[in-house]
Amino acid sequence: MFYSSIIELRNKNNNIVDYISKTEQYFLNEIDHKDTIKKTNPDDLIYLPKTKEKERINFFSYALKEITRGFDYGRYQKGY
């Protein structure tokens, strides 16, 4: 029991060390590539047009319009 828990702890520790070394390597690579990244200026940027905000619809007025439209459609269907 004790031996198996020691082995499990050692395996977890090895995994943590691997993860730390991969993380260190990633950040070291980023530091190395820092000088090769081009600094941007306003000419490089793409300006997108600002979209209009969606107009909010009052639920009560929308429901009232739908009801009146339904009555109008019903008026034309009474001729059966």
Phi/psi-derived region of residue 53, left when phi > 0, alpha when psi is between -120 and 50, beta in every other case:
beta
- The dihedral over CA atoms of 9, 10, 13, 19, expressed in degrees to the nearest 10, equals -120
Q: Could you tell me the CA-to-CA distances from 18 to 24, 30, 75 in Å, in that order?
A: 10, 19, 77
pLDDT of residue 53: 79
Q: What is the mean pLDDT of residues 31-59?
A: 80
Predicted structure pTM score: 0.38
Query: In whole angstroms, what is the distance from residue 39 CA to residue 34 CA?
Result: 10
Give yes or no for residue 55 having a pLDDT over 80. no
Give yes or no for residue 10 having a pLDDT over 80. yes
pLDDT of residue 79: 59
For residue 22, which phi and psi values (nearest 5 degrees)? -65, -40
